[in-house]
Structure 1
Amino acid sequence: MSWKTAYRSFYYAGAEEPDDIALDPETTALLVIDIQNTYLDPKDTPEETARWQPFYERMRKTVIPNTARLIDECRKRKVEVIFARIACLKPDGRDRSLSQKKPGFNYLLLPKELPEGQIVPELEPRSDEIVVTKTTDSALTGTNLRLILHNMGIKDVICCGIFTDQCVSSTVRSLADESFGVVVVDDCGAAATDDLHRRELEIINMIYCHVVSLEEVLTFFR
């Protein structure tokens, strides 16, 4: 099944197939969202670490290797590679948005210099690649990324990263509202479970973005 018919929600079950996508490297950016060391660390208890094991396996076996390849392919094509990461600017985290202060999974006190908050080594940004630090779920709302993209003449954004149902989805919706063309790469991202990942892709597909595979997105470049 191709991207034109996959991930259809109830709203788009009978919709016409979308037009072919053509990406111009000069006006396209790759945005890698929140693939940071902290999310690969063991949890507080062995039981919780075991519960997250499918996520760790997807990250190590699929998401990180595929994202590394996507980054490499974009660099070869002179596509702008941009990274977004969660980190607070104040040691006590009082600059974080409310969504990142709530108790539970989303609570993360991560001062910007800590090793846990850095991009994973396999995807290390180059010295001339932009890394935006966000204290919100959306990389557009919480940074000057919107201005950066406009200043560089970017029209289309390829998104990948974690978590599909949280920061990725929030960023994608913000980009769509700003009239960027958005492509989300299915096998370069993850949610806590595969079910949450797939369900969120179905929700955002066709209206806020087009969901595609790594192999498919590489055929879109002119």
Structure 2
Amino acid sequence: MTEPDSPGPAQLAQPSGETALLVIDMQNSYFELPGLADKKDAVLACVNELIRAAHDAGRPVVLVRTEHQRDGSTWTLNMRADRQGFAFPGTEQAAFLADLDTRDHVEIVKTRDSAFHGTGLKAALDRRGVAHVLVCGVSTHSCVAQTAITAFAENLHAAVAVDSVTSDHAELSEALLQFLHEEMRQPLLDQAAALALLHEGWPADDPTQPRSTTS
């Protein structure tokens, strides 16, 4: 896949506003899917590396997870059509992966793909002075992309850590990452650049225009 390259460290000077790490749906329910089960270890290692970097830099870490009520009151339209819910409160499905680094985090529980929809995420970011977010987790083509799109709508600069996301639908994922870059002007960062972003902060000079190259 050809992706826009990430900004180098020289482009990552800190402007006003904090940078936060958003970790999306790193919980047991999603990795039960056949297309994601064999990707768990690789993406978990990368996500944990980002979490450690954020903590080292003193940046907020937000862990987002999906949880639905058994009575169907929080189910999405496709869940209702299938008459099947998941990630019920108190179940292993709803819990974070056992090896996920969960120290010192803000926890957000959602019922839709976007971590902003019907949650206190924007208020939690505002309280911490966050103007920029780095998004990682699962799934690239659904919850990661929808969260990044809503961040744009909320006037937050967002970037996606492409080595720390994964999906069971490669074609959709590629299309949506390209959409985020071209239409939302959101950088797609490899692991090294994502770590640099957390350590050094967001680009001060036009953060919507990263350099492009073949990755």
TM-score w.r.t. the length of structure 1 is 0.78
Please tell me whether the aligned partners of residues 29 and 86 of structure 2 are also in contact (alpha carbons under 8 angstroms).
no
Shift of residue 24, structure 1, vs aligned partner: 6.5
CA distance in 1 between partners of 2:78 and 2:12 (Å): 34
5+ long unaligned stretches in structure 2: 201-215
- The one-letter amino acid paired with 2:58 is K
Q: Which residue of 2 aligns with 1:164?
A: 140
Secondary structure of 2:38's counterpart equals helix
TM superposition outliers: structure 1 runs of 4+ over 6 Å: none
| Identity value in percent | 24
Query: 2:122 & 2:79 partners in 1: Cα distance?
Result: 21
1:94 alignment counterpart: 73
C-alpha separation in 2, matches of 1:173 and 1:193? 18
When structure 1 is superposed on structure 2, of 21-30 and 194-203 the one drifting more is 21-30
Equivalent residue for 2:211? none
- Partner residue in 2 for 1:46: none
The 3-state SS of whatever aligns with 1:114 is coil
Question: Which residue of the partner structure matches residue 37 of structure 1?
Answer: 28
**1:112 CA displacement:** 2.1
Structure 2 residue identity aligned to 1:134: K
Measured in 1, the distance between the counterparts of 2:140 and 2:5 equals: 17
Greater shift, 110-119 or 152-161, is seen at 110-119
Which ranges of structure 1 fall in alignment gaps of 5 or more residues? Answer: 8-18, 44-48
Q: Which amino acid aligns with 1:144?
A: G
State the Cα distance separating 1:23 from its structure 2 match: 4.7
Q: TM-score, normalised by structure 2?
A: 0.80
* Partner residue, 1:117: 94
Look up the match of 1:140.
116
Greater length-normalized contact order (CA 8 Å, ≥ 6 residues apart): 2
In structure 1, what is the equivalent of residue 49 of structure 2?
A: 69
CA root-mean-square deviation: 2.7
Q: Structure 2 matches for 1:1-222, cutoff 5 A?
A: 5-6=4-5, 20-23=11-14, 27-41=18-32, 49=34, 52=35, 55-60=36-41, 62-88=42-68, 90-98=69-77, 100-103=79-82, 108-126=85-103, 128-208=104-184, 209-220=186-197, 221-222=199-200
User: One-letter code of the match for 1:31?
Assistant: L
Distance in 2 (CA, whole Å) between partners of 1:169 and 1:145 is 16
Structure-2 change in CA distance of 1:98 and 1:22 (3 Å) = farther
